Amino acid sequence: MLNIILMGPPGAGKGTQATRIVDAFHIPHISTGDMFREAISQGTPLGLQAKAIIERGDLVPDDITIGLVKERLSQPDCAGGYLLDGFPRTIHQAEALKDLGPEIDREVALVVDISVPDEELVRRISGRRVCPKCGASYHVQDMKPAKDGVCDRCGSPLVQRKDDNEASLKIRLENYYKQTAPLQAFYAKEGIYHAFNGVCSADALFDEIHSLLEAHQ
């Protein structure tokens, strides 16, 4: 069963790989970052709670995030596999997921971790532009849309994420190394951890990830 966690620091290319993985394997894409951004743009109580935290680059409190994922992962469309993107991000979240998985018969089977050095992450994030409508990512130099400032997939105007600035990125990276990187050892111990080098083309990386997932289908 393709019950997958996609891990990696901000700017590693998780979003790009996530889109390709869910298209190829027909499983739902569960991105906690996208869920929070959606809640913010809708002005829901969750969005109001999370807005300032996310914009400064901090993590939303575990109880909120865990509750959100519990609810989403229990939906019927996750019965045939799922791709978790951006969750878990702390050991506490990983432990909550470890309890929840068997409880709802959706235990995590594979962890795909993409690693990229800091200087490259900073370069990628500072040039990143995103489509607020469909979630597609672009880069002002490396991955330009066909028409400047317009999404290739849906025609919406592209924006820069509020947390894609130098100060917030610094906090996101610090949090990543302190809180999220320990998950590598956590999942290695479970025997389901797979590391990938993210410094290559999106196509080349996807080929490698695809081979791993195909073998586990």
Question: What residues are labeled active site?
Answer: 14, 89, 128, 161, 172
Compose the 113-152 pattern: x for residues touching ligand ADP by CB under 6 A, - for all others. ----------------------------------------
- Which string of DSSP letters, residue by residue, matches 10-62? TTSSHHHHHHHHHHHHT--EEEHHHHHHHHHHHT-HHHHHHHHHHHHTPPPPH
Q: How far apart are the first and last CA of the chain?
A: 6
Neighbours of 87 (CB within 10 A): 24
Interacting residue with ligand ADP among 32, 39, 151, 198 (CB under 6 A): 32
Q: What are residue 128's DSSP bridge partners?
A: 139
Write out the binding residues for ligand ADP, residues 46-75 only, by CB under 6 A: 53-54, 57-60, 65
Q: At 182, which helix (H) or strand (E)?
A: helix 182-190
> Judged by CB under 5 A, does residue 170 bind Zn ion?
no
Q: State which residue, 17 or 65, has the beta carbon closest to ligand ADP.
A: 65
Q: State which residue, 156 or 165, has the beta carbon closest to Zn ion.
A: 156
Residue with tokens 């700017």: 11
Interacting residue with ligand ADP among 82, 87, 187, 193 (CB under 6 A): 87
Q: State which residue, 42 or 217, has the beta carbon closest to ligand ADP.
A: 42
**Could you tell me how many residues make up the chain?**
217
Where residue 192 falls (left for φ over 0; alpha for ψ -120 to 50; beta otherwise) is alpha
| Interface residue list for ligand ADP (CB under 6 A) | 10, 32-33, 36, 53-54, 57-60, 65, 86-87, 89, 93, 163, 172
| Interface residue list for Zn ion (CB under 5 A) | 131, 133-134, 136, 151, 153-154, 156
